Chain A
């Protein structure tokens, strides 16, 4: 269903979100579903089944909702263009409650009950880490969209892949050249005192040092804190850049109090949009962020130089120029991360086609075919940008966006190079037995 420019024209297809995502009910329901006989007669025409381990409830639900929308849009596009290896793709959603314990159960259910071809779509790191052993035990290819460094660290197993979104180590590292050259050389970090903050605590200083800048103070804030004024005097006066990665409900309070502390005379501010994903940048309390900079995986706001692929992707997912749901402007998306679902599904498609994938008996072939991938060109399948893929560590590398808060929007002012985020591989999954 690609048009003459090679982009998907979804308006001309009969597929709806529901036929893509809800089409496949529980196994028992399938027996009475129309079409069952057809599928059982010819396995080659049976749909490819993707188990979507989804954060439908729990603390990840806001992300989960947008991961679901993006996945639905991608599946609709893939099916409209003929599916994978000529077979339609169906998604079975199981809610993991954003709970590592249930995550492992859900992977087991996909393997033994639903007999899906792969499992896909997990965001929260602790759920990925909790579920990965089950994926390994069941020899179930597990494609996560988590952004964590856990896959690339090679501490999981051979069945776990992250081919559609870069990892946090790479993201942090690739921010350093721009910060050192444009924001300042003396950086103070403020981060929540747990694993998420520790990534930034540990990966930023060496990356900045390599650029001739330095971290002069690191302020760890207890996760349960809801007022921050008492921490601000710890910021050294010579600070040129405050690098902040606070998360949770108190982020707005943090920004507001930081603004009250500094007034109009502040150092440069640099943050990760993770702090404000799914939150309107124009919310009361965030005025102080005007003129500051953020990392964004994929830009929330439409940019003047957006590629046709980016425009088509945004239309397909249903986000407006402000990155909110079309028709529901207060429903702000998780644009910086959710593109990873779209791109991961196209990687799965490519790998299945390369492997000549026919069914669960070919899962090992799928793993090897995925490992053999090396690069993804920018285009309708990879609208966020070009990527390389390291099959040994199962991780992709790509460009990052640095955006400035300007006129109540996030305007991309710099795109990093893929090389900015490369690092030495920490291991090799391909040496593990399948």
Chain B
């Protein structure tokens, strides 16, 4: 065993040396082609004004809210428009269909095309699920609780063996959603740092293994318990769904509410929940940051000759952790300072656990801004690939030969539109975050003046994060 491992290590070293020596041979001239790219058009836009305008908009919303009477806002937030009732009888069936689809996708990952833009697995997981479904959750609410590929199979198995919903084992209370935090970190690392997250076979193994382990955990701890504590996608999607302007009441009645209104009635998150939400925002922020000339410059990497993901695994891992630590530290300091300013005796954990919900609209805004172009182009590849998942020349949905129009995100005009949508999303997300944070401040502090004062440091953080988010979209980046 050790011999094999050593042999592998020696082989790896030898290969590395071969690559390095080849690279050294060419320390002299080698061409590279850094594409002028659509960020080039953004560099010509007056983005500086947007940065100032964005900061101003967030600051003004803070001031306006501070002056508005709490009661009128409260009435506004609580408005609901009843729609219709929606039973959950079909939930098992839909989840089973979803599971079947997932199994086919994993098979496609293993046996279909090796091209990540022709194989449906990476396109569905990264583009339709991660980039797309997150946005749908933010608009329509808890779709994932119907679509996830575990509920149906779990329900089937527990019914077959007449087992209860709760599972055989209880998780200790202190565990909160720490397993989900760890798993989300692993997911983010795989997406952002791993050299080949798009490789169909690699992704099929990762996704298949994750499904299996999660399913086993659900059998042991029960679906409800593991969904709350360990299944990071459910934890993430249910947090995002809290922003949605659609609400499904206990009896199954659907109603419309204001975006973010459901956040205000949320219970304080435990420390693990705080960590989870901050990690969700920090990871997407780091994804943007890691591609900037600024970040690469810190590590002496020439962005015009980017050496590829295998060369930045160390700095990437460091950056992913650092962004989280910095965001968490700044957030907690802002909340703590706010509590001090307001002279509150509430515990920091409760204040932070409530106020962290205001991160949800920001995380969603970053998600929109960050994945918009991928969604527009790779979304088309996804539609095409679904018609022929195994590369056998099928045309199941008539989309197999559709022309993928990459031009949709190309050129100066598209760059203008995309920039405005992205900048608009970032600014709106932060304004909503200020609004939500104010709602919580009134829950934490009875006196309006104290409530407003307590929000001052957090508002400063949100202004800074607005500017940071806009800068990420405006600064030169790789690719």
Contact = CB atoms under 8 A, between A and B. Distances in A.
Interface of A: 16-19, 21-26, 28-29, 32-34, 54, 56-63, 65, 92-95, 97-102, 104, 114, 123-127, 129-130, 132-134, 137, 146-150, 153, 155-156, 168, 192, 194-196, 198-199, 202-203, 223-224, 226, 247-253, 256, 274-280, 283-285, 324-325, 327-332, 337
A290 to B, nearest CB: 16
Contacts of B308: 58, 97-102, 126-127
Contacts of A279: 35-37, 40
B31 A226 contact: no
Contacts of B407: 324-325, 328-332
A59 B310 contact: no
A240 B308 CA distance: 39
Interface centre among B33, B40, B297 (most CB of A within 10 A): B33
Contacts of A153: 26
Contacts of B445: none
Interface stretch (B205-213, B319-327, B398-406): B398-406
A22 to B, nearest CB: 4
A133 B414 CA distance: 42
A127 B414 CA distance: 31
Nearest to A95: B116
Contacts of B293: 224, 226
Contacts of B111: 25-26, 28-29, 32
B19 interface: yes
A249 B36 CA distance: 4
B422 to A, nearest CB: 16
Contact of A252 (B26, B36, B201): B36
Contacts, number: 291
Given A25-B390, A126-B32, A195-B31, A93 B40 contact: no
B396 interface: no
Contacts of A17: 401
Nearest to A66: B406
28 contacts: A25-B390, A26-B111, A32-B111, A60-B35, A61-B479, A62-B37, A63-B33, A99-B310, A104-B15, A129-B19, A146-B31, A149-B31, A153-B26, A155-B25, A195-B305, A199-B30, A223-B305, A226-B293, A247-B34, A248-B476, A249-B37, A252-B43, A252-B44, A253-B44, A274-B33, A275-B36, A324-B407, A325-B407
A26 B110 contact: yes
Report the interface size class on chain B.
35 or more
Contacts of A60: 33, 35
A328 B476 CA distance: 26
Interface centre among B30, B305, B405 (most CB of A within 10 A): B30
Contacts of B479: 58-59, 61
A253 B69 CA distance: 49
8 closest Cβ pairs, A-B complex: A99-B308, A101-B310, A330-B407, A331-B407, A29-B111, A93-B115, A22-B391, A133-B18
B272 interface: no
B303 to A, nearest CB: 6
A285 B15 CA distance: 45
Given A97-B196, A133-B15, A248-B476, A26 B112 contact: yes
A223 B40 CA distance: 14
Given A95-B116, A155-B26, A65 B406 contact: yes
A252 B33 contact: no
A285 B391 contact: no
Contact of B392 (A33, A56, A195, A224): A33
Given A247-B32, A280-B411, A93 B113 contact: yes
Contact of B29 (A26, A104, A199): A199
B302 interface: yes
Contacts of A19: 393
Given A133-B18, A224-B303, A59 B35 contact: yes
Interface in B425-479: 475-479
B118 A21 contact: yes
A194 B305 contact: yes
Interface of B: 15, 18-19, 22-23, 25-26, 28-37, 39-41, 43-44, 110-118, 195-196, 198-201, 293, 296-297, 302-311, 388, 390-393, 400-401, 403, 405-408, 410-414, 475-479
B22 A18 contact: no
A193 B427 CA distance: 37
Contact of A97 (B33, B297, B309, B475): B309
Contact of B36 (A22, A32, A146, A247): A247
A25 B390 CA distance: 7
Nearest to A203: B29
A70 to B, nearest CB: 15
Contacts of A29: 110-112, 390-391
Given A94-B114, A196-B31, A126 B476 contact: no
A123 to B, nearest CB: 7
Nearest to B403: A327
A274 B35 CA distance: 8
Nearest to B19: A130
A184 B344 CA distance: 76
A6 B311 CA distance: 48
A129 B26 contact: yes
Contacts of A198: 28-29
